[in-house]
Structure 1
């Protein structure tokens, strides 16, 4: 091995260690203080509600204590949206860095 290869490998190893030490966190555009999960409605209930309203839901997950949905609005916008897990109220809708809707206080 040449010194250049050793130096490159050492730099790669140091970078990997540095990245591994960064704690994972939610993207958390919105944070919900929703109480215990036992009081939440299900993601399936949210999907059914949104589908009834004309949304297409591609994926949903919990993020920042809220339900985060990736889907298409009734208007045809592909978005990332956040909903309160207890009330299923829409809190935030964004598209590629553009805020389409944000509930006051969130």
Structure 2
């Protein structure tokens, strides 16, 4: 019985350690020094611009001080991309872990 309790406790500790490590790894492939959000352009404007350019945007959020966008390119490729929130400059685009574009310095 004692070994069962110890095994269960170890399992909970291991699960807790994994859950605390995951968010740090998942955040910010790119970091933007964009200043306060009050100076940023609206994320809806970025989505509209990308849609006009032929993208199908499935999700957009703030990550690492940048706008992170998940979508489908006009060529049909599913991608994750980062854009500067003030200029909408494209900083990083990846597909399934393969970097398709990375702006110098980012």
What is the TM-score with the length of structure 1 in the denominator?
0.88
CA positional deviation for 1:7: 2.1
With over 3 angstroms needed to count, the CA separation of the structure-2 counterparts of 1:94 and 1:22, relative to structure 1, is closer
Q: How many residue pairs end up in the alignment?
A: 105
Per the alignment, residue 8 of structure 1 pairs with: 7
Find the aligned partners of 2:38 and 2:31 in 1 and give their Cα distance. Answer: 18
Structure number with higher helix proportion: 2
Moved over 6 A (4+): none
What is the TM-score with the length of structure 2 in the denominator?
0.88
SS in 1 for 2:33: coil
Find the aligned partners of 1:101 and 1:22 in 2 and give their Cα distance. Answer: 27
What 5-or-longer segments of structure 1 have no aligned partner?
A: none
With over 3 angstroms needed to count, the CA separation of the structure-2 counterparts of 1:8 and 1:62, relative to structure 1, is same
What 5-or-longer segments of structure 2 have no aligned partner?
A: none
